Amino acid sequence: MDLPVDEWKSYVLQKWSLLPKSIQVTISTAETLSDIFLHSSSLLQPEDEMFLKRLSRGYLVGKDPSAPLFYREEGNRKFQKRDYMGATVLYSKGVSYSRPNSEDISLCYANRSAALFHLGQYETCLKDIVRAQTHGYPERLQPKLLLRKAECLVTLGRPHEASQTISDLESNFAAKPTLAASQFQILQRTLCRLKVKVQEKENLTETSPAALTKAFEDMDLREENEQISSTSSSVSLCTDPLKGRYLVATKDILPGELLVKEDAFVSVLNPGEMPLWHHGLESKWDTRATNGDLYCHRCLKHTLAPVPCDGCSYAKYCSQECLQQAWDLYHSIECSLGGLLLTLGVFCHIALRSTLLARFEEAGRVINKLCGEITNRDICLPESKNLAQILSYDLGGESKKKGKTVETPIPGCDINGKYENNYNAVFSLLPHTGNHSPVHKFLCALSVSALCRQLEAASLQAFTTGLKSSKLKAAAAPVLYPELKIWGVAMLRHMLQLQCNAQAITTIQQTGSEENLITDSRQVRLATGLFPVISLLNHSCSPNTSVSFISTVATVRASQQIKKGQEILHCYGPHESRMGVAERRQKLRSQYFFDCNCPPCEREKQRPSQGPRREAFCCHRCRALLQGDDVLSCGSTSCTESVSRDHLVSELQDLQQQVGMARKLLRNGELERAIQLLLGCRHDAESFLLAEHSMVGEIEDDLAQAYAALGDWEKSAAHLQKSLRVVEVRHGPTSVEMGHELFKLAQVFFNGFAIPEALNTVQQAEKVLLVHYGPWNDEIQELQKMKSCLLDLPPIPVGPNE
């Protein structure tokens, strides 16, 4: 997903292995990105490009007149089964593959409006009705569409507009009586019913639609930092020869305090599972919903009714405004390259988009970075300095002017010492060129070279002549130099930067069926972005901050008290609650090129033979902790039991398989069988796993879900409380994982009408989740609704004998 598809990686690896040793050495020992790019680019042959084009054609990203009918019919089947959400997704796919101003697209929009109407999405339904009409919806079908429009307007409390729509509809009947008698009668009855509704609404006082929750207002920084944009005044930027740039607290910080609120400089939606199509497949049209179908490709907002690009089927947006902004900023270039960008991976896509966005900063500053000392006649790199040296010279260290040594700001800062969310800061992020393997650098360089060749082959008018949008500042639309090798070096730099600096943009998605009364959720990666300020945070396996996202905006909150002068730390992924020290250090070394010496790693290094207790085995006789390497012995002095580690690992694998079978039964609605299997699994787990082992917690959680589905809230709560104890041991009482588990327990108590327990658990969950997410979080909003509902209940009457 991040890197190119496996077929291209294998192809490049083979090409590398066949290169003469001297060329491999030249690329391996090249000191600059410019040399790596130019050497690799010279090796890209026409047959390489042809192979890449064949791979790219496997992604169906163009308009195709055969697709809309397929998706419309599939959507109709879902609609007839009252699966309106599934129908909406399929109609959206039909819209995406349809050409603008065609009957296909108008029919797909109209059908989607019907599904949205049944989902209660009336405003969005109205927008789709307008889109259907704009694209030439057939005249013979207009009455049905206008009736739906009138129903939406009535439901939304807009009777005057509904009356006008009904009048238009009646005029349409009178002018063009094209309907059959039976259809006409049905429509007439519907009209009569709507007229009554309109009269009822007109007798009521109209109220304006409820204001949408403005989540961003809850995310404002109390006091903006003058040194670092998007950051609280509670932090300061420092630099160290060993640690590089980092952030420290300038005062005591309380848990939950907002420290950073930063919009991504660049982000690219992760495409999800997009199978490559090839001849011989039964159908080339995929009916599965992916992130690309459900989220805006610019702002990443969830959308039920995406608006597609007019030129391709892949890019979809939440609104016409987002579509236009994306087109003006980058999609006018990317549109024809969709298949290639999906083949080359998200990192290559971000590299291109970052370079395109550089056009919107001050032309002189960006071009000076990329081109160095250029003349009006020739566009080339100066002989005395290569690109990497120019950038290093410009961004950090010392510069000498007229015999004087001038100390420059911290890399990424402007001449006034301010660090901002801009291309200057993005370019200052380290590419770690010397740490990447030669074959990885060759893969990235060859991929970028192929992309540059495609840009060169395509029309570069939009790429080189500024922007069409009159809404953007004229000064923000510089002319780009046609020397694509310069931009190729920049893209290679960005692609290498991303391994250490890419930030996964995540969202919380609910799992399980819609019938489940208890919400189970998981964190999923929605997109990948570059956040220059968040990139300043160093790693800890036990961080003191929590990062969350809304749209493309990241927020960093203190997850615990941070003392003045203490470093602000973020977890890069390997967390002490999820991995042992050896696994964490290996992952950090391979991806981020450093050995972690944070306090948890130092503590665990002192006792390397002892793995995390939460994942340990116990003696089946006395339940004491088993210790050792290949052969484990009971830790109790009164017990002589021993067992091989391999035997216990095999038992754990068998248990995991049994739990997997139980979960499948749960998904299929076979609750009683699932419960019996899970109870057996719990009994087996107790014989060799410690009570705080993650598998024990998962079994209890699954049992809670099963009993909740049966409506046995008391048993569900009992099992969930046992799961909660495991989560607390593994992650801590104030962890975000604890917050999510408390949220589930609050739902169980709420549905079981256990009012005191529900109110107490709601309060606990709210307290924990507020620290990590702030008040705009969906789960917090749901908790507040539960609390309001419980507090509004009348007191339960107490009888005379009670």
714-728 pLDDT, tens digit each: 999 999 999 999 999
For residue 652, give the DSSP letter: H
Rounded to an integer, what distance in angstroms lies between the CA atom of residue 555 and that of residue 216?
10
Average pLDDT over residues 393-407: 39
CA angle 145, 147, 148 (to 5 degrees): 65
CA angle 310, 315, 318 (to 5 degrees): 90
Q: Note the pLDDT of residue 642.
A: 87
244-249 and 545-550: which strand pairing? Answer: unpaired
Q: Note the pLDDT of residue 126.
A: 95
Q: Note the pLDDT of residue 371.
A: 52
Rounded to an integer, what distance in angstroms lies between the CA atom of residue 582 and that of residue 595?
11
Q: Are 412 and 265 in contact (CB under 8 A)?
A: no
Fold assignment, 66-202: 1.25.40
Rounded to an integer, what distance in angstroms lies between the CA atom of residue 175 and that of residue 145?
17
What stretches of 593-735 show up as alpha helix (H) in DSSP? 599-606, 645-667, 671-686, 694-710, 713-731
Q: What is the pTM of this model?
A: 0.84
Rounded to an integer, what distance in angstroms lies between the CA atom of residue 337 and that of residue 268?
14
**CA of 365: how far to CAs of 33, 94, 351, 472, 579, in Å?**
20, 44, 19, 19, 44
| Helix (H) or strand (E) segment spanning residue 145 | helix 142-155
The amino acid at 459: S
Average pLDDT over residues 196-211: 40
| Helix (H) or strand (E) segment spanning residue 249 | strand 244-249
Query: Who has greater pLDDT, 174 or 184?
Result: 174
Token pair 């992650």 is at which residue?
A: 731
Percent share of the chain, pLDDT over 90:
54
For 649, the token pair is 């690992």
For 248, the token pair is 């420290």
The residues spanned by each domain of the chain are: 66-202
For 180, the token pair is 């059959």
The answer to whether residue 217 scores a pLDDT higher than 60 is no
Rounded to an integer, what distance in angstroms lies between the CA atom of residue 755 and that of residue 761?
10
Q: Note the pLDDT of residue 575.
A: 87
Token pair 């026409």 is at which residue?
A: 46
Average pLDDT over residues 740-769: 93
Residues ≥6 apart with Cβ < 8 Å to 325: 298
Confidence of residue 201 (pLDDT cuts 50, 70, 90): very low
Confidence of residue 469 (pLDDT cuts 50, 70, 90): very low
538 DSSP β-pair partners: 569
The answer to whether residue 419 scores a pLDDT higher than 80 is yes
Rounded to an integer, what distance in angstroms lies between the CA atom of residue 421 and that of residue 405?
28
Q: Which of 38-42, 307-311, 609-613 has the lowest mean pLDDT?
A: 609-613
pLDDT digits (tens, 9 = 90+) for 526-582: 999 999 999 999 999 999 999 999 999 999 999 999 999 999 999 998 888 888 888
- State the average pLDDT for the chain: 82
Rounded to an integer, what distance in angstroms lies between the CA atom of residue 371 and that of residue 639?
74
The answer to whether residue 380 scores a pLDDT higher than 90 is no
Q: Which of 265-279, 321-335, 517-531, 691-705 has the lowest mean pLDDT?
A: 265-279
Rounded to an integer, what distance in angstroms lies between the CA atom of residue 612 and that of residue 635?
15
> Which is nearest to 493 in space by CA: 32, 42, 52?
32
